[in-house]
């Protein structure tokens, strides 16, 4: 039972990988689609950034109250 499910899953994964390879081989761009958040134009249009960029934006907008020390002051 487990072996048949494992073989079935392995076959489905291999078909998906072969399909991605064929799509990449026959596409005009000849490259894989961009999956990193920082380099994806669609996500940038929706104002979705990587965590480092989000932190920079939050730090610029954050007004620190005098007398309160941050927990991570060494960063």
Give the DSSP letter string of 55-71.
HHHHHHH--PPTT---T
- Residue of 53, 69, 71, 73 lying closest to 61 (CA atoms): 53
Higher pLDDT, residue 12 or 62: 12
Per-residue model confidence as pLDDT tens digits over 15-46 = 999 998 887 778 776 666 667 777 778 887 88
Mean pLDDT of 1-10: 94
Which residue, 52, 51, 29, 48, is CA-closest to 40?
48
| pTM exceeds 0.85, yes or no | no
State the greatest distance between any 2 C-alpha atoms of the chain, in Å, as a whole number. Answer: 65
Residue 23 Cα distances to 31, 34, 47, 67, angstroms: 10, 14, 29, 58
Domain boundaries, the chain: 1-32, 34-63
Confidence of residue 4 (pLDDT cuts 50, 70, 90): very high
């Amino acid at each position: 039972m487990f072996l048949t499910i494992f073989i079935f899953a392995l076959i489905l994964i291999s078909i998906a990988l072969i399909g991605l390879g064929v799509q990449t081989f026959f596409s005009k761009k000849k490259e894989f689609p961009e999956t990193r958040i920082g380099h994806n134009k669609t996500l940038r249009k929706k104002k979705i950034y990587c965590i480092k960029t989000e932190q920079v934006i939050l730090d610029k907008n954050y007004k620190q109250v005098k007398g309160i020390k941050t927990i991570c002051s060494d960063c």
